[in-house]
Amino acid sequence: MPKQKTRRAAAKRFVIKKSGKVLRRHAKLRHLLEWKSPAQRRRLKRKSVVSPADARRVLAMIPGGASG
């Protein structure tokens, strides 16, 4: 049986924790930052948990992500 391939685009965008949670970055942090408040910029810097419906799709693109 051939080795499973990882979708490199997904591997660069998502982090899979040991608990199985999938983390992602927030949007709206690329430009026009001077008009956003410092509190909003700090909040957008933090990672966010992917919804369970999308997490199943991400885990399918990254084989063996949570298991190591």
Q: Which domains can be identified in the chain, with CATH numbers?
A: 8-61 (4.10.410.60)
- Once rounded to an integer, what is the mean pLDDT over residues 42-58? 97
The pLDDT of residue 65 is 75
- Quickly tell me which residue has 């983390």 as its tokens: 23
The pLDDT of residue 14 is 97
pTM of the model: 0.85
Give the separation between CA 59 and CA 68, rounded to whole angstroms. 12
**% of the chain at pLDDT higher than 70:** 96
The answer on pLDDT for 43 being more than 90 is yes
Contacts of 14 (CB under 8 A, 6+ apart): 22, 23, 24, 50, 58, 62
The pLDDT of residue 67 is 60
- Once rounded to an integer, what is the mean pLDDT over residues 12-36? 96
